[in-house]
Chain A
Amino acid sequence: DAGVTQSPTHLIKTRGQQVTLRCSPKSGHDTVSWYQQALGQGPQFIFQYYEEEERQRGNFPDRFSGHQFPNYSSELNVNALLLGDSALYLCASNSGWGVETQYFGPGTRLLVL
């Protein structure tokens, strides 16, 4: 049973560029959440997708957008990259409503130069 998978594992971009990160949820899960973890900090909630819609959003600008596909996989898009967007981006999945058992992927490490 595959857990949460994310791609790519590492990525280097320059300021102003756009990036797309991908996530496949754990088998049987239909809800995907994205988090940003800056170096030395705890993860911060970006948004959550359920039934292909953004259900809740944290305190992140509109440069951060996402999408969920019918197979429950998800993408995180970040436009107009800033140096401060350098972080580990974590995807988590669970089933249905709430976060009682949320499984995390290994993350994508993004470096913006």
Chain B
Amino acid sequence: GNSVTQMEGPVTLSEEAFLTINCTYTATGYPSLFWYVQYPGEGLQLLLKATKADDKGSNKGFEATYRKETTSFHLEKGSVQVSDSAVYFCALPNLYSGGGADGLTFGKGTHLIIQP
């Protein structure tokens, strides 16, 4: 089945630093790829997504490019803020045995801590 591996945290950065959170995946075919964010005490929010190879998803200054050659979907931001402190999850669809996609498979999450 599909799987995701993302770098483990916590990742601690100073405000305005450059951020990269690595994510690699194993999948059959070329599924859509997602980054979700979970702020303290809250549920998951979709941060960005890419639906095909070489697509770049972007939102709130975050970007990630779907690289099928390296099976990666690394999350980047040029200048992080204290408010970006959260847990970030890379995800892709499960593969239903009938060929459709139901539910998501998530990585273990990367806890990002931004210090002022």
Residues of chain A touching chain B, judged by Cβ–Cβ distance below 8 Å, are 4, 33, 35, 40-45, 47-48, 55-56, 58, 90, 92, 97-107
Contacts and interface: CB of A to CB of B under 8 A. Distances in A.
Given A42-B107, A104-B45, 19 more contacts: A33-B104, A35-B104, A42-B91, A42-B108, A43-B104, A45-B94, A45-B104, A45-B105, A55-B102, A56-B96, A56-B102, A98-B102, A99-B101, A99-B104, A101-B46, A102-B46, A103-B46, A104-B36, A106-B43
B57 interface: no
B44 A56 contact: no
Contacts of B32: 100
A97 B101 CA distance: 8
Interface residues of B, number: 25
Interface of B: 4, 32, 36, 42-46, 49, 51, 89, 91, 93-94, 96, 100-109
